[in-house]
Structure 1
Amino acid sequence: MSVKILADSASDLPLEFFEENGVTLFPLGVHLEDKEYEDLITIKPSKVYDAIRSGHMPKTSQVSPSLFEEVFTSMAKNNEEGIYIAFSSGLSGTYQTAVMIRDQVKEEYPNLKLEIVDTKCASLGCGLVVMEAAKLANAGASFEAVLEDVKFRSEHMEHLFTVDDLDHLAKGGRLSKASAFMGGLLNIKPLLNMEDGKLVPIEKHRGQKKLLRRIIEVMNERGSELEKQTIGISHADSLEMAQNMKELIQEELKVADVKISDIGAAIGSHTGAGTIAFFFLNELPSK
């Protein structure tokens, strides 16, 4: 029996990925205009961005505890072993809730073999970890081999973000050390990364063109053997920019494999439209 891979919608992988690769999906909740939606299933990112542009502030919620309980109990009854690759605990309480429900289920079913990994990754940074885990699991890799790869990639995944509106991120409580970047300076674009699972601004640049050029430089500085990697780009209603950056990355960094995905409704509720993010490893796993 192959290792069961589980992931939440904050990995920003398309729905068909979960269906085609046998990965169990845990959708986060999105609350908008007095209605509740399941991220990736009953709401599209464009609905969130249109709402934000109209002055609405969407809210999000963790994966349903009852869904965790249902899936974990089913796994225990079927003697399945699995790895849940979770969205960063620094940005959501989903990881902690999953651990709590897992431990409750184990009280009744001690045989449950389920590892829950706090990736401290977000969006396609988490998604790239999930993609490789699914590939390994479907190829028949052992539980231990898949888990080792998940932990390694999670630890070494770099995140580079830029957003149109830092105030929106700050209001949603998903930003650390933001004060020095506030103030509404004309055409100042922030560069953010992830530190211990939280979004942190690290630089600011005047003008988008300079910022995007700087992102290429930072990728080259931090990345390891980029030409051997799958590089991730996720975007919030900025497909043309993502495609242009893909071409630039392929040309300047000699990268063949670049994956572009939409930033989903849950993460997009906090970033707003115009966000673009880049994901790559600062060290490659040994073969």
Structure 2
Amino acid sequence: MIWNVVSDSSCDLRMASFQDSPVRFEIVPLRIQVGEREFIDNDELVIPEMLEAMAAEKAAASTACPSPAAFARAFEAGDCTVCFTISANLSGTYNAAVMARDMVLEEHPEKKICVIDSKATAGAMALLVYRAIALMKDAAADAFEDICDQLRLYQAALRTCFTLENFDNLIKNGRMRPLVGSLLHSLGIHVIADATPQGTIHVADKARGEAKTCRAIAALMGASKDCTGARVVISHCENLPGALKLKQAIHDALPVRSVDIISCRGLTSFYAMEKGLIIGY
């Protein structure tokens, strides 16, 4: 019996970190197109190199979701598989995974495959992966449906918020006027946003300066749910000092159980840009 957890690369985890796991874990990478260069969001991607290419490229960069065939190969490697994807409102990745599930089940009807739309990205997806592996460890095959039900409930309880300092990508993609982006940057204003239950993005607040931004994020987290005993994951884009300050602000303000810090992979770096922070809790 092979228990199998699959995620697209927006989870910000690295496959190398799970080599000793009793549950198989695989990441299916997205792709980032910057001018004529394509960056594959795998464990070998050098994030500063991609960000440097994005800064030098005048045209807007773009992303591409994995193919159904890529997901199908990952699904075929397990007997019981749970797959998590970035919000279906942000990417076609969920649809590609569902197509892959149907393809594999047609050829291998004995397999069990569950695809869950995280309605989020980054830390929230990492938390789902952690929970799935914990539930699958030593589980019997007949526990599959119960595990899937527990993971769906857990997904519904998770929240995501983030803050941006660099607005170049939003400007290049036509989502922010250049004048507004330049003004926010020059004034040191951080945009704070969260994900809605439907998986869309909502601008929740703005704060000036790092300390005020950290306090505003902690306040937003406390207002959105009861964080007592919650596990928190902060993804940072080349901003470990900022992530450490935010971790301390969260511990000071909220009764969370733990705060883990991980580095953004390619897809989340594409959206967060340098110094961006994404919080899943």
Shared fold (TM-score, shorter chain, > 0.5): yes
Q: Name which of structure 1's ranges 81-90 and 2-11 shifts more when overlaid on structure 2.
A: 2-11
Q: Give the secondary-structure state (helix, strand or coil) at the position aligned to 1:205.
A: strand
Report how far residue 205 of structure 1 moved.
Answer: 2.5
Specify the code of the residue in structure 1 equivalent to 2:9: S
Match of 2:91 in 1: 92
- The structure-2 alpha-carbon separation of the partners of 1:139 and 1:242, relative to structure 1 and needing over 3 Å to count, comes to farther
- The structure-2 alpha-carbon separation of the partners of 1:171 and 1:194, relative to structure 1 and needing over 3 Å to count, comes to farther
Match of 1:203 in 2: 205
* CA distance in 2: counterparts of 1:11 and 1:229, whole angstroms: 18
Report how far residue 101 of structure 1 moved.
Answer: 2.4
Contact kept? 2:215, 2:249, Cα under 8 Å: no
Aligned length: 271
Report how far residue 92 of structure 1 moved.
Answer: 1.1
**Normalising to structure 2: TM-score of the pair?**
0.86
Match of 1:101 in 2: 100
Report how far residue 33 of structure 1 moved.
Answer: 4.8
Show the 5 A alignment for 1:114-129: 114-129=113-128
Aligned-residue sequence identity (percent) comes to 26
- The structure-2 alpha-carbon separation of the partners of 1:70 and 1:16, relative to structure 1 and needing over 3 Å to count, comes to closer
Superposed CA deviations along residues 116-161 of structure 1, whole A, max 9, x for unmatched, are 1111111111111111111211242621232122211211111111
Show the 5 A alignment for 1:168-247: 168-169=169-170, 171-172=172-173, 182=180, 184-185=183-184, 186-195=187-196, 196-226=198-228, 228-247=229-248
Contact kept? 2:123, 2:280, Cα under 8 Å: yes
Q: Name which of structure 1's ranges 104-113 and 241-250 shifts more when overlaid on structure 2.
A: 104-113
Match of 1:72 in 2: 75
Q: What value does the CA root-mean-square deviation take over the aligned residues? A: 2.5
Report how far residue 171 of structure 1 moved.
Answer: 4.4
Contact kept? 1:169, 1:271, Cα under 8 Å: no
Q: Give the secondary-structure state (helix, strand or coil) at the position aligned to 2:45.
A: coil
Contact kept? 1:43, 1:265, Cα under 8 Å: yes
Report how far residue 216 of structure 1 moved.
Answer: 1.4
* CA distance in 2: counterparts of 1:244 and 1:208, whole angstroms: 8
Match of 1:4 in 2: 4
Contact kept? 1:65, 1:97, Cα under 8 Å: yes
Unpaired runs of 5+ residues, structure 1, are 281-287
* CA distance in 2: counterparts of 1:167 and 1:35, whole angstroms: 18
Q: Give the secondary-structure state (helix, strand or coil) at the position aligned to 1:20.
A: coil
Unpaired runs of 5+ residues, structure 2, are none
Match of 2:63 in 1: 60
Contact kept? 2:163, 2:277, Cα under 8 Å: yes
Please tell me whether residue 16 in structure 1 is matched to residue 16 in structure 2: yes
* CA distance in 2: counterparts of 1:48 and 1:260, whole angstroms: 21
Specify the code of the residue in structure 2 equivalent to 1:8: D
Match of 2:152 in 1: 151
Q: Give the secondary-structure state (helix, strand or coil) at the position aligned to 2:159.
A: strand
Report how far residue 29 of structure 1 moved.
Answer: 1.6
Match of 1:47 in 2: 49
Contact kept? 2:162, 2:276, Cα under 8 Å: yes
Report how far residue 273 of structure 1 moved.
Answer: 0.8
* CA distance in 1: counterparts of 2:169 and 2:36, whole angstroms: 20
Show the 5 A alignment for 1:131-142: 131-140=130-139, 142=143
Report how far residue 55 of structure 1 moved.
Answer: 4.1
Q: Give the secondary-structure state (helix, strand or coil) at the position aligned to 2:53.
A: helix
Match of 2:109 in 1: 110
Please tell me whether residue 34 in structure 1 is matched to residue 36 in structure 2: yes
Specify the code of the residue in structure 2 equivalent to 1:219: M
Contact kept? 1:87, 1:118, Cα under 8 Å: yes
- The structure-2 alpha-carbon separation of the partners of 1:270 and 1:140, relative to structure 1 and needing over 3 Å to count, comes to same
Contact kept? 1:233, 1:278, Cα under 8 Å: yes
Contact kept? 2:82, 2:113, Cα under 8 Å: yes
Superposed CA deviations along residues 100-119 of structure 1, whole A, max 9, x for unmatched, are 12223333333332111111
Contact kept? 2:6, 2:75, Cα under 8 Å: no
Contact kept? 1:98, 1:116, Cα under 8 Å: yes
Contact kept? 1:14, 1:261, Cα under 8 Å: no
